[in-house]
A and B are shown apart, each in its own frame.
Chain A
Amino acid sequence: MRHFIAFISVVFLGLGLYFLKFQNQTVAPVTAQKPLLHVITYSSFAADWGPGPLLKTEFEKTCNCEVKFLEVADSGLLIQRLQMDGAKMGVDLVVGMDQFDLDKAKNKLPWRDVGAMDVKWVPEVQDATSLNTFVPFDWGFVAFNTRKGELSLTPTSLKDLLNPSLKGQIALIDPRTSSPGMQFVFWVIQTMGLSEGESFLKSMVAQAHSFSPGWSVAYGLFQKKQAAMALSYITSPIYHLVEEKNEDYISLEFQEGHPQQIEFMAVPEFCRNCDLAENFMRFMLSEPGQRIIMNKNFMFPVLTGVIAGTPFESLPPYKKVAPFRVPTEEEIKGWNEVWNRSRQQP
């Protein structure tokens, strides 16, 4: 017993000393020449291939400041992370919440009123521009994507997804951990109602290839041809066209219409460089900022005229499944319960 206690103590003592030494190094005050703007966002936004690095470079040219991105794995985790550590980390700007996060964000955290932005909004996001604290910066329609000629039956409605030929072919996303996954549940419930929607989701379990925790995993399975279809965005084929010169990818238009995802940014009340954060917001809504977001995030811009002359212009105008609104936390909880029940074995 003495040996055991001594051994454990030595290990923890060693680790503790290392930790203290390293922590002292990291928290040692560094006199910053320039103010530091902390932007928290989801990882694919801040990744090398995402819009974050280019936005940072362009903004830093004019702001006499430094932009630092803090990342969370998925946009669904932004609020949770902010609640835990937002003030301590000195977050100035939050980028990447969608309409399913807003009610929770409003209830859990204080936000700064940034007023109305002087922007010529596209009509598709007009309804989402009067929130003052939350400002839209891009949008897209959620849709199923596939490759040309891969399906024997091309679905044109949600109910077509239950066709036996699609059994085990659809890469779905868990709504509890990812926003597009929640969009799918919303799509089903909005179209069919709660009760019929629940039985539809139960039937979809057999059709699903997998239920991934996030969009990137599900889309990766689809790209590796493990699944024939994946839940994604109508703009996803543009990515393959522009980046890979591949015209095989298509998004499927459904007659019920499609859920619209709008992404928002906001400044928390505990911001330290609040004016800088608002300037960064304005830059993201400027034409150069919107171009970067469109070309790197592959989502539609919110500013009128930006898509002119780009491949985005060629996309057909899809029908919305429902007008824009911010669902309440209670509603989302209810939809999660529907999802949980549909996943349970009969």
Chain B
Amino acid sequence: MLYSFLESVKYVGHLIPISFLRIFLGYYYLEMALQKVQSEFLYRPVIAELIGEWLPNSRAPHWYKVLFGTYLLPHWQGLAFAIVGLEMAIGLSYLIGYVVRPVALLGVLLCLNQLYINGPNFEAHNKLLLAVHFMFAWLGAGRCLGVDYYFYKRQRGLWW
């Protein structure tokens, strides 16, 4: 596995800049997730306050507002858990370059949601992250300096 990790530089070396971006973003997401775990994000309705504050004024479709306002807001703890879990999965996946493609699609989904619930101050930030996740999924950013190359060599397929 270590051999293929280094070998990836030889065969898909053009992806090195993307891999650095992936690793940086992985670190960023993991740090965000750990901060949330150590803070009161999972135990106090921080996310419910955010949603309550911004969602009514956001440009989200009506069904989305109803879904969050009526069904997800009362179960804020599950939602907070899902957000932290996803951030952690994205962080770990990007750091080691494992299952990057499907995880990047989860990142796209997460950013789409954050666009509506995080308020206008973070809109540009989330749009940018969304584009980066999309590029990772498109390029298969785990194939260089990542575990994905090992599996790609053996199993091929769209997932790597």
A residues neighboring B (CB under 8 Å) = 1, 3-4, 7-8, 11-12, 15-16, 18-19, 23, 26, 72-73, 77, 80-81, 84-85, 176-177, 213, 340
Contact = CB atoms under 8 A, between A and B. Distances in A.
A213 B122 CA distance: 13
A81 B89 CA distance: 30
Contacts of A213: 119, 121
A72 B50 CA distance: 11
Contact of B99 (A7, A73, A81): A7
Contacts of A72: 49
Main secondary structure of the interface of B (DSSP, over half): helix
B5 to A, nearest CB: 16
Given A4-B102, A7-B98, A176-B57, A15 B159 contact: no
Contacts of B48: 84
Nearest to B147: A3
B49 A3 contact: no
A216 to B, nearest CB: 15
A92 to B, nearest CB: 17
Contacts of A8: 89, 103, 106
Nearest to A336: B57
A19 B89 contact: no
Interface stretch (B13-21, B80-88, B108-116, B132-140): B80-88
Given A15-B81, A77-B52, A85 B45 contact: yes
B42 interface: yes
B151 interface: yes
Contacts, number: 57
A11 B86 CA distance: 8
Contacts of B98: 3, 7
Interface string B118-151: 0101000000000000000000000000000001
Given A3-B151, A8-B103, 7 more contacts: A15-B37, A15-B88, A19-B81, A81-B45, A84-B48, A176-B57, A340-B57
Contacts of B88: 11, 15
Tell me which of A15, A18, A77, A177 has the highest count of chain B C-beta atoms within 10 A of its own C-beta.
A15
Given A19-B81, A177-B53, A4 B103 contact: yes
Given A7-B89, A11-B88, A23 B52 contact: no
A136 B119 CA distance: 32
B73 interface: yes
A22 B147 CA distance: 32
Contacts of A15: 37, 81, 84-85, 88
Contacts of B81: 15-16, 19
Tell me which of A4, A12, A84 has the highest count of chain B C-beta atoms within 10 A of its own C-beta.
A4
A228 to B, nearest CB: 23
Nearest to B80: A19
B43 interface: yes
A11 B92 contact: yes
B49 A19 contact: no
A8 B102 CA distance: 10
Nearest to B48: A84
